[in-house]
Amino acid sequence: MITQYQSHTLVQHIQRGWSLFSEEMNEFVDLLPAQQRMKGENWYRGTADAVTQNLDIIRRYKAEYVVILAGDHIYKQDYSRMLNRSR
């Protein structure tokens, strides 16, 4: 999860409410706080820019799926139907 400024309540929500993932199944949420990582880059300018600035980290996971949601769409949802349809 790539967070932007003032993300304390979002991080709290994830830590307390999203314990449904299974380590044995390699399921997890990773928190990536906002940062200026490269010379000339600015703070995130929206969801797409946040993803672009963190592509190197996302690619390192070699995940079968990466679900990208805007902050106002993060809630306990079973995304398995969506992921199964994309196969």
The pLDDT tens digits for 17-36 are 666 677 777 777 777 777 66
Please report, in angstroms and rounded to a whole number, the separation of the first and last CA atoms in the chain.
Answer: 23
**Distance of alpha carbon 78 from alpha carbon 42, whole angstroms:** 33
CA atoms within 13 A on the CB side of 85: 4
Q: Looking up tokens 């994830």, which residue turns up? A: 14
Name the β-bridge partners of 32: 2
Express each pLDDT in 24-70 by its tens digit.
Answer: 777 777 777 776 656 666 777 878 888 888 899 889 988 888 888 77
